[in-house]
A = this chain, B = another copy of it.
Amino acid sequence: MDKIPILRMGPFLLVTIQIDLYDRLALNLETDLINMVHKTGARGVLIDISAVSIVDSFMGRILGNIASMTRVLDAETVVVGMQPAVAITLIELGLSLHGVHTALDVERGMALLQTKHSLDDEMAGDDADDTE
């Protein structure tokens, strides 16, 4: 099993990271996610890392990459379920996950995406009003 499954949940995609992200697996995940966002028109990506107990700078960079790539395709990325020890390590490594949204669990992450989603729609509506 050298692929991490991407689950579609309405307008969002959900990925659960359960195994160590070595090079090829991480690159596959990036490619698969971007293709999936493009194919499904997903508005958000949830990455659950509750099973991740050890984090390094590579993992931090991968999460940042995914967030940047999906943003170009107009989808927001939310990292959920981070363990306290992982948060401590990330900050001690100097990785503040800039540009990546975070939430305590999948439900809150989904609520965050839904808020952003409806805010986007409202702003699009406002823009349309402005052009009148």
Contacts and interface: CB of A to CB of B under 8 A. Distances in A.
Contact of A7 (B3, B16, B20, B53): B16
Q: Chain A binding site: helix, strand, loop or mixed by DSSP? A: loop
A8 B107 contact: yes
A10 interface: yes
Interface centre among A20, A51, A53, by most chain B C-beta atoms within 10 angstroms, is A51
Interface string A73-92: 00000000100000000000
A19 interface: yes
Interface string A1-23: 10111011110001010111000
A52 interface: yes
Contacts of A30: none
